Structure 1
Amino acid sequence: MSRFLAFTLLGVLTLGVIATEKPSPDRPKLVVLLVIDQLRYDYLTRFDDLFKGGFRRLLDDGAVFTNAKLQHAITLTSPGHATISTGRHPATHGVTANNRYDPKYGKRVGAVYDPSEQAVGGTGSTSSPRILEASALGDRLKAAHPEAKVVAVASKDRSAILLAGKKADGAYWLSVDCGCLVTSSYYQTEAPRWLAAFNVRQLADSFYGETWKPFLQDRSLYERYARRDDFPGEKYGLETTFPHRLRGNPPDQEFYYDLMNSALGDEIVLAAALAAIEGHELGDDDAPDLLALSFAGVDRVGHDFGPFSQEAMDQILRLDYVLGRLFDELDERIGLRQTAIALTADHGVLPLVEHLALQGERAKRFPKNLIPDAVNRAINKMHPDAGEAVAYFDPPHIFFDLKRLESLGVSREEAEELGRQAILETGYVEKIYRHSDLQGEASGDAIEKLYRNSFYPPRSQHLIVQIKKHHYVDRAQGSTGHGSPYDYDRHVPIMFLGGSIPSGRFSEPAGLVDVAPTLARIIGVPMPPETDGRLLEEVLR
C-alpha cells in the first residue's frame, strides 16, 4: 500500500471514531496555537534572566520541551506552519516550500497562491488553503464540533492560511499593499464588521515617524547578552546600529513592509488578535474554539541582523512583552484555566557567516547564481540549444523547464544527472537528491529521512540540494537565512500553558508534528499522531 493511500484510509477511518472521543471534564473553551516565526530554542536560555512577560510565564508555569526539533529538512515558513497545523510532514500535507514553480502559470508562485480568490477587507494577495493535502487541527475541530469557531491571525498570508486550514471562519493577515488587515474570499466574500472597524483605525499609519529604539534603558545589558551593535555583516552594512528608521511614508508599500516585518509589527498582530477574539466571540460558549496566531518580527530581524545581534535580543524582549499582554487579556476575558496555549516555531536560523567565522567555524557564503549557472552550463555543453534549462532557482534547489528540455530531446534523467554533477563540483554542497533517490528504498541515513519527510513528488523541486553546514547562499556581506537540515534550523521550542497542563521541563524528543494531535487530545477531537510522531503525554497527565 502506498504511503499516500495509507494516510487517506487513516483519515477515513478516523471519521468513524469522532463520536467515541470523550473530552476531558475540564476541556478548555479556547485553544491558542502560537507560532513565532524563526524562534530558535536557545533564545529562551540566553535571555532567561531578562524575561518578565509571556516567556517568563511559559517557562515558570508551563510545560517546556527542551529537545524539540523539526523532522523535515527544508526548514521554511510555509512547510513549518502547515506541519504545525496538520500534525503531518510535508510529504503528506503537500506544502514543501514558500514558493514553487507552477508549469500551469509558467512562473514562480507563492505557496498559497490562488488566482481564483481575492483579498477581502483591502488590497492584498490572492490566496487560499487549497494547497493543503491534509486536515488542519481547525478542520478536525469543525468536523467534531460544527459550532466551534476557528480563526487565524498572522503577519503573513501563508502563515495565517496554513494555520487556519480549509474550514476556518477566517484567516487574517497584514497586507503591505494597504497597511491593513485582510482575509481571502475563500473564507468570506465580505469583510466582517469587526474587520472593517479595525481597518478604520489605520493602526499601521500611526507608526509613521516612529523609530525602533532599544527596549531596555540599560544599554550595557545588550553588550552582555548579545554582541557589539556595529557588527560587520548585519543588514548588508546598512543601519547596523540602533536606532532604526522605517523607510518610506504611508501609504507606501516600502513603509508597510518595514513596519510589518519589524519589532513594531508584532504590536499590530496583537491588536488584530484581540479584535478577532471579540469579533468572533471566541471562548464565549461551551464549544471549544481555536485561535491560531503567527508573529513574524523575529524572522525579519533574524534575517537582517542574525540571532546573536542586539536587534535580535531586543526583538525577543519586545515579543516577551507582547505575549505577556496577550496572556493577561486571555486571562481577563476567558481565564487561563479555561484556555490551552501551545507555542512553537516553524524553523530556526543560521547565525551570520561573519559571526561563525569569528567562532572558528568554516562558514562561507556563495553567490545565488552559482548553482543555476553551473547547471545551465553543464546542460548547454551537451545540448547547445538548451538555453535556460533551469526554470526556477529556489535557493539552493532547482526546478527544470521540463517542457523545453523535452522539446530538445533532453530527458529529465539526463538533465538531473548533468545538473547533479555540476552542482557537486562547486564545492559548496554536501549532497543532492533526485526524485528517484527519494522514491527508492530508504538507506537509513538520518538526514535522508528528513528529506524524505520534506518530499512531495507533485510539488518538490527536481534537484533537492543539501548545502554544507554553516554555508549560506548569498555572497553579499550581510543577512542570513534558514532551510537546511542542521540543528540551528531545526531546534525550536515547544511549550504548553493553561488549563490543567502541568509545569516542568521535559527532555524526551518532540517534534512539530506532535503539537496539533496533543492539542486535539486536550479538547477531545480525534487526530492520530504522525507515524513517527507521538502524543506529548507529559502535558496530558
Structure 2
Amino acid sequence: MLKRFSFSIILLFVSAITNAQSGNYKVETADNQTNPKLVVGIIVDQMRFDYLTRFYNRYGEGGFKRMMREGFNCRNNHFNYIPTKTGPGHASVYTGTTPKYHGIIGNDWFDRSLIKNVNCVEDYEVLAIGALNKEVNDGKRSPKRMLATTFADENRLFTQMRGKTIGVSIKHRSAILPAGHTANGAYWLDYEHDGTGNWITSSFYMDDLPKWVKDFNASGRTESYFKEWNTLYDIDTYEESGSDLNTFERIFKGKNTATFPYDLRELKNKNGNYKIIAESPFGNSLLTDFAIEALEAENLGEDAITDILAISFSSTDKVGHDFGPNSKEIEDTYLRLDLDLERLFNALDEKVGKGDYTVFLTSDHGAPNVINYLKSEKIPAGFFDESKMFEEMNSFLEKKYQVSDLILSRINSQIYLNHDKIESNNFDLKIIKETLSKELLKYQLIDKVYVTSQINQFEASNGYLENMLNKGHSQKRSGDLLFVYNPAVFKYTAWNATGTDHHSGFNYDTHVPLLFFGKGIKHGETYKKTEITDVAPTMSALLGISFPNANIGEPLDFIFE
C-alpha cells in the first residue's frame, strides 16, 4: 500500500513538471483563485469622464454600459501630475508611477545633451519594420526612454516570459509605452508624412513582420475606411452637443465648413492621405479590426498563463483636437466607439471565454472645451503665444546681460536656460532664474512660475498644483523654470487655433474614466478619489505578481470579488 501511494505521488510530481514545462498549468493566487487568461488594457485617448454620463442614454448595451453594468466604476479618477499628455499618460497607467520616476515627461522634451527636442519613443538605433523604407522616422521607435517597468513587463518576468504582451494603437507611443520593454510586439499605423497605411513595428521587437500582420496589410482593410463619415443616427437627435455649423472647429482642406458629411476618399489627398482615417472614428474601427486579428493570430488567452493585450484608441484624440468636446463630431465618434467596444468584447467572449478575461478602461488625459467657445459663453479663457514670449524673454535677458540666446528652449510650459553660456560668463544661475520668473509673472495669462534649485530639483511648497508639478518633474530632463497658466488657457499655435488641447492639472484635463470588468472584478462604483497610478498595482495585485519597479500607486482592493 505504501509503495503504491509513493508511486502515485511520483507520477503526480512528474506530471506537474511536464505540465509546467509545456505551459499547461494553472496560475493560482494565494487563495487558489485562478488568474484571468487575458488582461485587456484599454486607453481611450482624450476621454473626459463626462463622456460616460453625457452620452450614456445613447450608448448600446454591449460597450461602455456593459462595463458599468457588470464591472466597477471609479467615478472620481484623476491624474496626479503635470503635464497631462499622451506619452506621460500611457506610461503612468502601466508603470504605476509618474514622470518623476518613469522619465516620460512629455510627448517631446528638450534634451540638453543633444541640444534639441526629442520624442518620447524616439530611437535611431532601431529600424522601421513593415514600412517601405527602414529608415522612416515614425518606425524608428522603442520604449528605451521609459525608465521603469510596466505591469506587462512584470507579468512577463513572473511567467518566465511565457505570458505574451502585445500593444496596438494608431499612434506609436500609445502602442509602445503600455507594452513595455519585454513585449512580444507593438504595432502602430504608418499614417504620418504620407505613410503607407500599413501596420508597422521596429527592430526593437523583431526583424520581420509576422505573416498575420503582412496579410492584414495586404487585405485592403485600411483602404476600406476611405468612405463617407456621416452621423451614425439622424443628426437632429444629437442633442448632447452643440450646433454642427460653428466657428470653433477645424475645417478639413477641401471643405468649406466643419459640417457633416465628410467624404474621406474625396478629402484624403489634401489631408495627409491615411492621416484622415486616423482623424475620424474609422481609425478606432480599424484598430478594433487589428486588435481582434492580433487576439486570434497570437493565440492570446489560449492557456492558463496570463497574456496582456494593450489597446489604445487614438482617433478620439484626433477628433477632439480638431472639433472639441462640444462638437457633434465627438459625440458621433463615441457612439461609434461604443459599437467597436461591443465588437471587441464579443470577440473576447468567443475566443477567450466570458468570465476568463479582465478588462480595464481609462484615458491618458482629458481636455477643456474649445477656448473660443468658452469665451463666447463669457467664461474666462485664452490663448498664450509661447513663441512670442520666448523671443521677448531672450531679448530681455540679452538687454540685461549683453549675451544673446540665454534661453535654449521652451516646451511643456518649461524654460531651459543655456547653462554653458551662463557659466562661461560667470553669471549667477539662481539670480537669472529669479529675474526671469518675475518677468514671466507680468504676463496676464500666466498665473504661477516656479524656479528649480541649482541642480534642477523642484523645491516648491507642498500645495495641490505644486505636488502635481513635482510628480511630473525629472531632475535630468525637465527645465529650469515651470509656469502654470490660468484655467482654460493653453499655448497658441496655428494647429490649435480651433478645436482643443490639453496639458494642465485642472479637472478638465485630470478627471478621466476608470472602469474594470471581467474575471475577479465585482459590480459596484465609488466616488472615492482614485489616481491613475493605481491602475498598474491593481492589475499586479489581481495577477499576484510584483508591482512595477517604480510604482507609487495603491491597489484598489475594493474592486475585487
Is the aligned partner of 1:272 residue 2:281?
Answer: no
Query: Which residue among 84, 108, 128 is the counterpart of 1:75?
Result: 84
* Distance in 2 between residues matched to 1:473 and 1:247, nearest whole Å: 33
TM-superposed CA distance for 1:87, in Å, is: 0.7
TM-superposed CA distance for 1:409, in Å, is: 4.7
Residue of structure 2 equivalent to 1:313: 331
- Structure 1 unmatched ranges of 5 or more: 1-18
The farther-off stretch of 258-267 and 20-29 is 20-29
Alignment-mate amino acid for residue 94 of structure 1: G
> For the aligned residues, what is the CA RMSD?
2.4
Residue of structure 1 equivalent to 2:444: 427
1:251 to 1:147, Cα distance in 2 relative to 1, 3 A:
farther
In the alignment, is the contact (CA less than 8 A) between 2:45 and 2:314 conserved in 1? yes
Residue of structure 1 equivalent to 2:320: 302
1:228 to 1:93, Cα distance in 2 relative to 1, 3 A:
same
Report matched runs for 1:112-191 at 5 Å. 112-122=121-131, 123=133, 124-145=138-159, 146-176=161-191, 177-191=195-209
Q: Deviations over 1:282-321 (max 9, x none)?
A: 1111100000000011111111111111111111111111
Residue of structure 2 equivalent to 1:95: 104
Query: Which residue among 309, 328, 341 is the counterpart of 1:323?
Result: 341
1:94 to 1:382, Cα distance in 2 relative to 1, 3 A:
same
In the alignment, is the contact (CA less than 8 A) between 2:109 and 2:412 conserved in 1? no
Residue of structure 2 equivalent to 1:6: none
Report matched runs for 1:254-403 at 5 Å. 254-386=272-404, 388-403=405-420
1:368 to 1:513, Cα distance in 2 relative to 1, 3 A:
same
1:108 to 1:468, Cα distance in 2 relative to 1, 3 A:
same
- Structure 2 unmatched ranges of 5 or more: 1-26
TM-superposed CA distance for 1:272, in Å, is: 1.3
Secondary structure of residue in 2 paired with 1:432:
strand
1:351 to 1:406, Cα distance in 2 relative to 1, 3 A:
same
Alignment-mate amino acid for residue 465 of structure 1: F
Residue of structure 2 equivalent to 1:56: 65
In the alignment, is the contact (CA less than 8 A) between 1:119 and 1:126 conserved in 2? yes
Q: Deviations over 1:211-243 (max 9, x none)?
A: 321111x22221x21111112221169632112
Is the aligned partner of 1:499 residue 2:519?
Answer: yes
Q: Deviations over 1:179-229 (max 9, x none)?
A: 111112111122111111111124222333x2321111x22221x211111
1:366 to 1:411, Cα distance in 2 relative to 1, 3 A:
same
Is the aligned partner of 1:85 residue 2:103?
Answer: no
Alignment-mate amino acid for residue 146 of structure 2: L
The farther-off stretch of 48-57 and 352-361 is 352-361
1:213 to 1:456, Cα distance in 2 relative to 1, 3 A:
same
Secondary structure of residue in 2 paired with 1:334:
helix
Residue of structure 1 equivalent to 2:534: 514
TM-superposed CA distance for 1:482, in Å, is: 0.5
* Distance in 1 between residues matched to 2:396 and 2:341, nearest whole Å: 51
Report matched runs for 1:439-518 at 5 Å. 439=457, 443-474=461-492, 477-518=497-538
Fraction of identical pairs, as percent = 32
* Distance in 1 between residues matched to 2:275 and 2:434, nearest whole Å: 40
In the alignment, is the contact (CA less than 8 A) between 2:122 and 2:141 conserved in 1? yes
The farther-off stretch of 195-204 and 158-167 is 195-204
Rg comparison, structure with higher value: 2
TM-superposed CA distance for 1:405, in Å, is: 4.5
* Distance in 1 between residues matched to 2:468 and 2:311, nearest whole Å: 26
User: How many residues are treated as equivalent by the alignment?
Assistant: 519
* Distance in 2 between residues matched to 1:357 and 1:374, nearest whole Å: 26
Alignment-mate amino acid for residue 430 of structure 2: E
Q: Deviations over 1:376-406 (max 9, x none)?
A: 12211113331x3333332532233433544
Query: Which residue among 34, 49, 57 is the counterpart of 1:41?
Result: 49
1:220 to 1:175, Cα distance in 2 relative to 1, 3 A:
same
Residue of structure 1 equivalent to 2:15: none
* Distance in 2 between residues matched to 1:538 and 1:272, nearest whole Å: 33
TM-superposed CA distance for 1:460, in Å, is: 1.4
Q: Deviations over 1:95-129 (max 9, x none)?
A: 11000122343321211101001111225331111
1:76 to 1:248, Cα distance in 2 relative to 1, 3 A:
farther
* Distance in 1 between residues matched to 2:68 and 2:90, nearest whole Å: 23
Residue of structure 2 equivalent to 1:538: 558
Alignment-mate amino acid for residue 446 of structure 2: V
Is the aligned partner of 1:229 residue 2:244?
Answer: yes
In the alignment, is the contact (CA less than 8 A) between 1:78 and 1:95 conserved in 2? yes
* Distance in 1 between residues matched to 2:224 and 2:419, nearest whole Å: 49
Alignment-mate amino acid for residue 388 of structure 2: L
Is the aligned partner of 1:242 residue 2:260?
Answer: yes
Q: Deviations over 1:341-383 (max 9, x none)?
A: 0000000001111222233311112324232123212211113
1:82 to 1:531, Cα distance in 2 relative to 1, 3 A:
closer
Q: What's the TM-score once normalised by structure 1's chain length?
A: 0.90
